[in-house]
Amino acid sequence: MSKKLILVTNDDGITAPGIRALVHEMQLLGEVIVVAPDSPQSGQGHAITLTEPIRLKKVKVFKGVEAYECTGTPVDCVKLAKHVILKGRKIDLCVSGINHGSNASINIIYSGTMSAAMEASIDGIDSIGFSLLDFSFKADFNAAAHYARRISQEVLKNGLKECKLLNVNIPAVSLKKIKGIKVCKQADGNWIENFQEGEDPRGQKYYWLAGEFLDKEYAEETDLHALQNNYISVVPSDHDLTRHEAISHLNHFENL
């Protein structure tokens, strides 16, 4: 049997410790190709590069692994991997991360990590985004890496059927303290935002986004509740943004 083909990407850039940990685990499961941004791309959401060209460069970053850095967004990386680098070769799994910081709750919509995984899933590729709840570059990726491998192994073995995209978040605790995995829904969490205002060296005013996540008690079936209780959260997701149950309540619009 031929080896499974695993595409690895992220949004923190190809030199981030999180992707290094993920590549290491994926090498145990199949043939690994890495296409990742050449610089940090956090908060890029599902952005694609339309108005300018993208550069792609083969790099030696991971021992024994074919790897490319790309000047584009995380979603650009996946598109280039599919159309230019792998040119129609079947990708068995796309994994993105391990992200430095949470992509649970509302964070999924801003996340380059999750958008890259979603981009692969649009073509029917089983795709998983992994995120560790620790922004530090010195974060301990042991537990996250361990579960990234187990979850990826299960997906490679049995496939994803009902949806092609999983959002996996891992609490920032040691492997021993993790209580297990919960399959759950996205919590309706909030950021309390503000803008830092300042003046640049030329006397021009600027604004810089700041803020913190509102930490409250979350309902039991949500990702934030699982994470608060030291469980890994697994949320099934995809690219259909229709609020299906609202359709029948909006029929009066058809009379406008």
Binders of a second copy among residues 90 to 119 (CB under 8 A) are 106, 108-110, 115, 118
Contact with a second copy (CB under 8 A): which of 32, 80, 116, 120? 80
β-strand pairing of 205-213 with 66-70: unpaired
167 forms part of the interface with a second copy (CB under 8 A): yes
3 forms part of the interface with a second copy (CB under 8 A): no
Q: Which is nearer to a second copy, 64 or 208 (CB)?
A: 208
Q: List binders of a second copy among 26-65 (CB under 8 A).
A: 40, 42-56
Contact with a second copy (CB under 8 A): which of 13, 17, 30, 236? 236
β-strand pairing of 180-183 with 93-100: unpaired
Residues in a beta bridge with 93: 6
Q: Report the SS3 class of residue 244.
A: helix
Q: List binders of a second copy among 123-152 (CB under 8 A).
A: 147, 150-151
Part in contact with a second copy (CB under 8 A); list of ranges 16-24, 92-100, 135-143, 176-184: 176-184
Cβ 99 to a second copy shortest distance, Å: 14
Q: Which is nearer to a second copy, 63 or 205 (CB)?
A: 205
Given its phi and psi angles, is residue 97 left (phi above 0), alpha (psi -120 to 50 degrees) or beta? Answer: left
Contact with a second copy (CB under 8 A): which of 28, 89, 206, 219? 206
Contact with a second copy (CB under 8 A): which of 135, 177, 180, 212? 180
249 forms part of the interface with a second copy (CB under 8 A): yes
Cβ 2 to a second copy shortest distance, Å: 25
Q: Which is nearer to a second copy, 63 or 244 (CB)?
A: 244
Contacts of 252 (CB under 8 A, 6+ apart): none
Q: Do you find a cis peptide bond into 48, omega within 30 degrees of 0?
A: no
Part in contact with a second copy (CB under 8 A); list of ranges 17-25, 28-36, 88-96, 248-256: 248-256
β-strand pairing of 66-70 with 31-37: parallel
Tokens standing for residue 44:
């890029």
Which of 123, 44, 37 minimizes the C-alpha distance to 86? Answer: 123
Part in contact with a second copy (CB under 8 A); list of ranges 2-10, 19-27, 131-139, 205-213: 205-213
DSSP string for 91-136: PSEEEEEEEES---GGGGGG-HHHHHHHHHHHTT--EEEEEES---
Q: List binders of a second copy among 182-201 (CB under 8 A).
A: 182-186, 188, 193-195, 197-198, 200
To the nearest 10 degrees (0 to 180), the angle between helices 17-26 and 142-158 is 40
Residue type, 120: A
Q: Which is nearer to a second copy, 63 or 222 (CB)?
A: 222
